[in-house]
A and B are shown apart, each in its own frame.
Chain A
Amino acid sequence: MRNDYVRKEVCKRGRIFRANFEAHSNPSLSVGHVSRVLRTPPPPTSVGLWKTQRCEHRPAPFPPDDYKSHPALRSRTLRQSKMADTMATAGAGSSGTRSGGKQSTNPADNYHLARRRTLQVVVSSLLTEAGFESAEKASVETLTEMLQSYISEIGRSAKSYCEHTARTQPTLSDIVVTLVEMGFNVDTLPAYAKRSQRMVITAPPVTNQPVTPKALTAGQNRPHPPHIPSHFPEFPDPHTYIKTPTYREPVSDYQVLREKAASQRRDVERALTRFMAKTGETQSLFKDDVSTFPLIAARPFTIPYLTALLPSELEMQQMEETDSSEQDEQTDTENLPLHISTDDSGAEKENTSVLQQNSSLTGSRNGEESLIDNPYLRPVKKPKIRRKKSLS
């Protein structure tokens, strides 16, 4: 998965993915999928993820019908196996969260076994990829367990994130947040997924091609991106993710727009200031009426110049938005000598308070400072020890 996919698609398509999920939870559709899952082990990650989520949410068995409809989840397989790999090597095991899977009924048991198997295959292939020629069963088992735990944890945590935002279906951004939260550098994923020496797990034997109901096919399904194995489920029908914007006749009348923006802002401001005035101390221009023109009471600041001089956050934001090109230019010119100097001075100031570092840093500092010789950047000398340091 490409980096920009993570960033942009999530934002743009989040809603559609969700719609997608919904469409596929249609029970009439799920039958085919269930049968397929029973026979062929599905890609392990998405299943694991799915499993844990669902188990917490709804203990009854259910068909893992739509894991494949979610390209984001699907494509995570390799990433997560890699992660499991790294986790394993780091020795940071996590307690399994498989308990949900155990209490399931017969098909689920089957399913569980299949998953286990696939995970093992994944672990083995990763090991091979890492240069192992053989591995003891116990260690493979351990790694599998760890992988599963890790994936389960991702699922559980993503679920929490999603529920935190009052949704029931995790979106890609939940996963990303989860990964970040778990200390994983998401940015490294795309490169890892596309690594050249990666092993592709052979496609699971497919006995019955799931039949997509004709009624719902429309247009051509999107082909897989090159880094997704071809045996993975296809993209869902285009209608599930193709945007068909619906809009009312846009209000293009400039005057009305400005009018609207202005009165909206004015209303917000008035409401806000009135609220502030109501909740705090006020002053009034009329002795007889304190409510018609309430003025928020003047409160002295302890450091008045800071609020007066520093641009407000709103302004800062505005400045960034309005003119990023110019900003860049500016920082470009500033970059050359200025940054060094300020960094130095900043470091220097810290440095002065931390005495211990002082002497050790002096040496390395000298190199940088040969650029700028300013007495205020020089290190503070220790008392008595008056050795002459050549500073420039």
Chain B
Amino acid sequence: MPPTGLEPARMNRKKGDKGFESPRPYKLTHQVVCINNINFQRKSVVGFVELTIFPTVANLNRIKLNSKQCRIYRVRINDLEAAFIYNDPTLEVCHNESKQRNLNYFSNAYAAAVSAVDPDAGNGELCIKVPSELWKHVDELKVLKIHINFSLDQPKGGLHFVVPSVEGSMAERGAHVFSCGYQNSTRFWFPCVDSYSELCTWKLEFTVDAAMVAVSNGDLVETVYTHDMRKKTFHYMLTIPTAASNIALAIGPFEILVDPYMHEVTHFCLPQLLPLLKHTTSYLHEVFEFYEEILTCRYPYSCFKTVFIDEAYVEVAAYASMSIFSTNLLHSAMIIDETPLTRRCLAQSLAQQFFGCFISRMSWSDEWVLKGISGYIYGLWMKKTFGVNEYRHWIKEELDKIVAYELKTGGVLLHPIFGGGKEKDNPASHLYFSIKHPHTLSWEYYTMFQCKAHLVMRLIENRISMEFMLQVFNKLLSLASTASSQKFQSHMWSQMLVSTFGFLKSISNVSGKDIQPLIKQWVDQSGVVKFYGSFAFNRKRNVLELEIKQDYTSPGTQKYVGPLKVTVQELDGSFNHTLQIEENSLKHDIPCHSKSRRNKKKKIPLMNGEEVDMDLSAMDADSPLLWIRIDPDMSVLRKVEFEQADFMWQYQLRYERDVVAQQESILALEKFPTPASRLALTDILEQEQCFYRVRMSACFCLAKIANSMVSTWTGPPAMKSLFTRMFCCKTCPNIVKTNNFMSFQSYFLQKTMPVAMALLRDVHNLCPKEVLTFILDLIKYNDNRKNKFSDNYYRAEMIDALANSVTPAVSVNNEVRTLDNLNPDVRLILEEITRFLNMEKLLPSYRHTITVSCLRAIRVLQKNGHVPSDPTLFKSYAEYGHFVDIRIAALEAVVDYTKVDRSYEELQWLLNMIQNDPVPYVRHKILHMLTKNPPFTKNMESPLCNEALVDQLWKLMNSGTSHDWRLRCGAVDLYFTLFGLSRPSCLPLPELGLVLNLKEKKAVLNPTIIPEVITGNQETAINPSGHAQLVGFQNPFSSSQDEEEIDMDTVHDSQAFISHHLNMLERPSTPGIHLGVFNLEGKEQSPLEMSMHPVATAPLSVFSKESTSSKHSDHHHHHHHEHKKKKKKHKHKHKHKHKHESKEKDKEPFTFSSPASGRSIRSPSLSD
């Protein structure tokens, strides 16, 4: 038997050319998912799955599958009842330890727990024993059909129910349900092999209310009524081999729209939104055309479905042949701002259809290829749709983002190779979470990971040309589509999986170029490059002496060696130079082409061939240099800090045609508050050919410059006359023209300018009265009656402008804020905000943008001491039932309040919401906001930081968030921000752990030893690579004394049964495998060690864990009730427990009409 995927990543890379080797001792070929009952009232699901597998080893006796949350009633293999064990170590990461509160420990334990059930390593939560009757059958490697009956009750993750509480039937209420989750989360709603690398064909059946529609992957074969004609069954077939993780479902009373341009594409939205859906999706066919054209490959699936649902987990989720979007992306033709955003989302999801859904990945470390390619082709679409300027601007934005993130938190590693599994080799030791698994990653890290992936793809394109790049993609796709049409027996399906190795090999085959250095630099290594550049002009030699330094010692940086492009704009033209950055050379001499001379009315040629007249009076008479740019094409992931004179930046802003260069110069000009900078910026603002985003950022720069120049500033406030000229009436300059947003460029400028102007300050550091009056007038005279577009975003920005104009209140001995001492300007602002906010109740704006801005403005007023600081208003807006944007804005204000006012009560309120809010996105968002704007940090003294809070957060990440990977990682992020890696300082010193903890701080990398020593558990001591799961485990067979020590309250009732089955499971022929299976890390365990353990030991450890968790779905086990009763009940002995269980079962009526529940009593699990 091959190693059960101990280090799949490494293995794949080495053996990549041999094709994919499954970590499982069997191969899945087909899976049936049948959900025959969905109850919206109870939020429950009943169904079964049937997996068809072919054993690949003769002695296969256990089959591991993934399943979380599901209650499994019965498992049959080839119609024979099969015993099974369910264990999920991720439910509660750390057990039986009360005082250990350090994150290092947790992260390791969590990583170990995740790998213990990692399908990419052949593991799973559900272990099914092949009945002995079938052993012979298995030895002949014959097909097995595993039939599993399961149900889901009130799922907390994986499937999300949205049931509005209004009158009417579920369909009338717009109740719907959809699958969601981060990465492989399909196991949350049906048992499967939840891996991106295990492909199979699918048959999906969903029986739903006759008024509902079930949308799922593949082709809808037929829809059939049930016998009572009150329900109908949707039959789907997906013949293209697909990973379970790419299976999705959405059920609701959807309105159906067949795409008018492509009839095989169907769109679905919630009732009443059809007109919006029509408009929103009217553009989709162009995206299809674009991708099919550049990839020279047809869309791989025979149909495509888009579903727009409420309370979305993420805005865009791509699954095989269908995408699930947030309903908030829908918009009408009147909305300007949302349109490009929504189109981007559509394009993104479609790119992922090709790479991510159709082509899947071999292992987690190959994820970057898929994200990179889909992000890259999405970028190409952006370039074509929104233009080169927008594209370059986006690339620059993404680059800045990744650079900022890496410099802040350390590197982002695209292709982690986990050598040997030693913690010391951990490539990401600077991080407080493991990057071995997608499920242990911080969400922000993952976002940045995707961002870096597509930037690196672009770097590869730079190296091998776009043509070759597209050829590689085409090759991958055509291989995959050939493979997809093959039968399983041909063993071709692994061609549909992409690996880093395979991808790189394709590149070298197609292009013949060696991109290994590039890959090594950006893919195998983390970090970005930080350049510092300065120059001097040597007049005698007519040479530009450029000095480029690097910082590669700070965290998140790396050294760059290789070519670097430098563009020098001289009087005679623009010249590119490629420098070789080497280890020790800092200086580079670049010969200049033009003599320094005063040009007499000679035009200056630019890079793009254009020739322009320039006023050269500003420049240095001796030097022919106009401006210099380092790495203008962004072909290195870098941050450049370059020093050049202010007039050079000004020339660059005015005459360089690249938007990135313009943006850079705007940023640089902030440091040069001179009339010349002012003039340059004003000119840019007025220039209509200039890219609108550049003009927008020029506004803010101008405001900053004006503030720096406040004592010497002449004329009206910055931008005022400009705005008047552009947007106000000719006859009465104080009145703005009636809105006409036909020209989007000027619309965006019109929106932004007042916001920037409001940042102006006079000598007293107050917003000039003139500016405030100006903004108030804009609001007063705003007239949208003749406009084709909605002005809601514009009005919202006006409120933002008002908020920007607010300056801290002058407070005399901390007087209480009342109406009487309200500043008259603030009174005016408040008047507007009140009116806007109230009008929103009567005439709501699109996405309630105005409410959102009003709430933010109120918080600003509170924070500046004009209005009493009070979270009640925000808390009422944060309630469930408000539009999500409003809720987030209100929650942001509460988070801010918690920080500023150090309110324990509000923090508790927020934490409570994190635990209980119905919308996963909001819960995630609160954690994120708390992390971004923490009430305190690890080095800060705060009254909020106390033991109870530590315990609460610990509980949240340890067991409270087991149903949502993203949420758990969010909780870890928050814990890290608040307390850091080590034990929180507010905790009392643990009696025993003190010394060890100190020691551990030195050896941060292997803290798992500590709990083992603390608990004094012999077994873990034997196994030093041990895992948290073993902590607190006691061998139930060792002595009755030991048994007492187990928290019987949480121990699973049918422990006796389980141990019995464990013995049954044991098949004498292959003990190594069996032990290995339960070994959580699955490595480094020598046969000797294994034989030292009693056979049942390891599995039992697992059971004690499993049962401590709140979520457990074994046979007929009503975990909810048990969980509730947990605290009341005291310790039980086995027998009591059994009694109790049966009693409880009697009391509790079966809620499912499924026959499975009835049969479960007869299932072997109860037979003893």
Contact = CB atoms under 8 A, between A and B. Distances in A.
Nearest to B777: A262
Nearest to A312: B843
A315 B210 CA distance: 35
A68 B226 CA distance: 70
Contacts of B881: 300-302, 304
A297 B876 contact: yes
B390 interface: no
B462 to A, nearest CB: 40
Contact of A309 (B264, B327, B781): B327
Contact of B223 (A296, A308, A380): A380
Interface string B822-849: 0000000011001101110111101110
B830 to A, nearest CB: 6
A377 B334 contact: no
Contacts of A289: 818-819
Given A303-B164, A342-B274, A380 B334 contact: no
A262 B729 CA distance: 15
B328 interface: yes
Given A293-B830, A295-B838, A261 B783 contact: yes
Contacts of A247: none
A28 interface: no
B842 A276 contact: yes
Q: How large is the interface on B (under 10, 10 to 19, 20 to 34, 35 or more residues)?
A: 35 or more
Given A298-B877, A326-B788, A374-B258, A276 B841 contact: yes
A306 interface: yes
Interface string B244-283: 0000000000011110100110100010111010100000
B14 to A, nearest CB: 45
B227 to A, nearest CB: 5
A315 B331 CA distance: 13
Given A261-B783, A375-B220, A304 B260 contact: no
A301 B166 CA distance: 10
Interface string B87-125: 000000000000000000000000000000000000000
A374 B302 CA distance: 11
Interface stretch (A1-9, A129-137, A169-177, A330-338): A330-338
A341 B260 contact: yes
Contacts of A94: none
Contacts of A200: none
Contacts of A96: none
A381 B882 contact: no
Contacts of B835: 266, 269-270, 273
B1092 interface: no
A139 interface: no
A309 B328 contact: yes
Contact of B225 (A261, A318, A322, A383): A383
A342 B257 contact: yes
A180 B278 CA distance: 35
B867 A286 contact: yes
Contacts of B781: 258, 262
Given A301-B882, A315-B334, A376 B787 contact: no
Contacts of B667: none
Contact of B790 (A254, A270, A306, A311): A311
B944 interface: no
B264 A374 contact: yes
Interface in A282-322: 283, 285-289, 292-312, 314-315, 318-319, 322
Nearest to A377: B258
B732 interface: yes
Given A302-B165, A309-B847, A294 B260 contact: no
Contacts of A375: 219-223, 303
A191 interface: no
A266 B848 contact: no
A113 interface: no
A103 to B, nearest CB: 55
B282 to A, nearest CB: 8
A383 B790 CA distance: 49
Given A322-B786, A345-B256, A287 B272 contact: no
Contacts of B842: 272-273, 276
A373 interface: yes
A298 B876 contact: yes
B885 interface: yes
A63 B348 CA distance: 80
B880 interface: yes
B879 interface: yes
B848 A308 contact: yes
B656 interface: no
Contact of A380 (B232, B310, B331, B880): B232
Contact of A285 (B164, B310, B830): B830
A355 interface: yes
B883 interface: yes
Interface string B882-915: 1111000000000000000000000000000000
Given A273-B842, A311-B334, A352-B232, A345 B735 contact: no
A308 B256 contact: no
Given A341-B260, A345-B256, A376-B256, A314 B843 contact: yes
Given A295-B834, A305-B883, A374-B266, A254 B846 contact: no
A288 B328 CA distance: 38
A268 to B, nearest CB: 10
B876 A302 contact: no
A278 to B, nearest CB: 11
A12 interface: no
A387 to B, nearest CB: 12
Contacts of A259: 735
B685 interface: no
Contacts of B834: 273, 293-295
A82 to B, nearest CB: 41
Contacts of B210: 352-353, 380
A378 B232 CA distance: 13
Contact of A258 (B174, B225, B735, B784): B735
B1161 interface: no
B225 A305 contact: no
Nearest to A336: B260
A355 B330 CA distance: 33
Contacts of B10: none
B225 A381 contact: yes
Contacts of A88: none
B1134 interface: no
Interface in B210-251: 210-211, 213, 219-227, 229, 232
A140 interface: no
B1061 to A, nearest CB: 40
A15 interface: no
A285, A326, A353: which has the most chain B beta carbons within 10 Å?
A285
B732 A258 contact: yes
B166, B229, B879: which has the most chain A beta carbons within 10 Å?
B229
B785 interface: yes
A129 B166 CA distance: 61
Interface of B: 164-166, 174, 210-211, 213, 219-227, 229, 232, 255-258, 260, 263-264, 266, 270, 272-274, 276, 278, 303, 310, 327-328, 330-334, 729, 731-732, 735, 780-781, 783-788, 790, 817-819, 830-831, 834-835, 837-839, 841-844, 846-848, 858, 861, 867-868, 870, 872-873, 876-877, 879-885
19 contacts: A254-B729, A255-B729, A258-B732, A258-B783, A263-B780, A273-B839, A276-B841, A283-B876, A288-B818, A288-B819, A293-B834, A310-B273, A315-B790, A334-B260, A377-B256, A378-B223, A380-B224, A383-B224, A383-B227
9 interchain residue pairs of minimum CB distance: A300-B881, A273-B838, A375-B220, A255-B732, A338-B260, A341-B258, A308-B883, A345-B256, A304-B883
Given A254-B731, A342-B274, A383-B229, 13 more contacts: A258-B783, A262-B780, A270-B835, A273-B841, A285-B873, A300-B881, A304-B882, A309-B331, A341-B257, A374-B258, A374-B264, A375-B221, A380-B232
